[in-house]
Amino acid sequence: MRAEQELPKLREGMPGVLDRFVGPGATPAELVLQFVLPIGAAGVAVAYAAYAIGTWSAVQYILCAVLAFDILGGIITNSTSSGKRWYHRAGQGFAQHFGFVMLHLVHLTLVSWLFLGLDLLWLIAAGGYLLVAGFAIILSPLYLQRPVALLMYAGSILLTLYVLAPPPGMEWFLPLFYLKLLVAHLPKEAAYRPKGEANHGVS
């Protein structure tokens, strides 16, 4: 087992599109984790909501499935060695990482709108914490990013337990949402590679 930060060359065509999403050099095991498990998560999330709530619109069920797939897939993709190596490659700095965090304000807005009747206080609190926590993690020295990320995530759990009422039927959303961004994505880590893997050039 070795750490390898150099990127393999991006492939051409559709395989190259996949490389830009999951990171070039993703192993079959990483790909299975990233795509198979999130499909199951989407099904479970919809089934649970149908059992617990049962009165959602088709749009709400679709968004629930999409968010479950996206968030669990994002937790896995962003925490794989291939994903870490790709998303923390040279040239990916504060603007790119904070921009990625800000993009996820759309997720919070959609949940607030479709499941909480556009609760602006919920949206401001959830989004504000996300931005403050993301800012703190990105600006932390590399050797402190992991503990700061875990500290910020612990704070998010307390926030979701004691301050922010969860959307009924989607109690899983905020804890996994913050896990994806604050713990899986933002901290930079060594990219450990499988034994015997060859690096076929740098992109």
Average pLDDT, the chain: 92
Give domain status of residue 168, yes or no.
yes
The SS3 of residue 89 is coil
Give domain status of residue 112, yes or no.
yes
Give domain status of residue 202, yes or no.
no
Query: pLDDT of 172-194, one tens digit each?
Result: 999 999 999 999 999 998 878 88
Q: How confident is the model at residue 203 (pLDDT cuts 50, 70, 90)?
A: very low
Q: Half-sphere exposure of residue 187, counting CA atoms within 13 Å on the CB side?
A: 23
Task: Give me the number of domains the chain comprises.
Answer: 1
Residue 37 has pLDDT above 60, yes or no: yes
Domain that holds residue 121: 27-79+89-187
Query: pLDDT of 40-81, one tens digit each?
Result: 999 999 999 999 999 999 999 999 999 999 999 999 999 999
Give domain status of residue 196, yes or no.
no
CA distances from 65 to 23, 38, 116, 185 (A): 24, 9, 17, 21
Give domain status of residue 100, yes or no.
yes
Q: How confident is the model at residue 164 (pLDDT cuts 50, 70, 90)?
A: very high
**Phi, psi (5° rounding) for residue 116?**
-130, 15
- How far is it, in rounded angstroms, from Cα 142 to Cα 67? 30
CA pseudo-torsion sign 108, 110, 113, 115: negative
Residue 127 has pLDDT above 60, yes or no: yes
Residue 201 has pLDDT above 90, yes or no: no
- What interhelical angle do 58-79 and 105-115 show, nearest 10? 150
Nearest to 132 by CA among 156, 112, 116, 111: 156
Sequence-distant (6+) residues with CB within 8 A of 81 are 30, 191, 192, 193
Give domain status of residue 9, yes or no.
no
Total number of residues shown for the chain: 203
Give domain status of residue 19, yes or no.
no
Token pair 């150099």 is found at: 6
Give domain status of residue 22, yes or no.
no
What is the distance of C-alpha 69 from the center of its chain? 10
Q: What is the pLDDT of residue 7?
A: 79
